Amino acid sequence: LHTIFDATLVAALDLIDTASVIRHTTSWSRTFYLVHGSTDSYTVFPDLDLQERRYPGAKGVPPFCTCPAFAHIALLSNSQLMV
């Protein structure tokens, strides 16, 4: 896989294989993931666009992760809203 895909994908698959990704759903049906990496734990919020669902036409918030890789990608792309 490493020769075909980026090292980031291989690392992500390794996290899944080692059961390092835990899905949580709150009592109000909000889902987020805890990812236990080799040096730290991170929180992934895949669905922050609830305002857009409640108010059609409102600009939603894209998925967000507390990990450094997400911050790096977001800063490079200038397309992610950092909250």
9-64 tens-digit pLDDT: 778 888 889 999 899 998 988 888 888 888 888 888 776 655 555 555 555 555 66
- pLDDT score of 72 more than 60: yes
CA distance 32 to 64: 10
Q: Where are the domains of the chain?
A: 23-77
Closest alpha carbon to 24 in 13, 35, 37, 33 = 33
Lookup: tokens for 10: 């291989």
- Comparing 36 with 6, the larger pLDDT belongs to 36
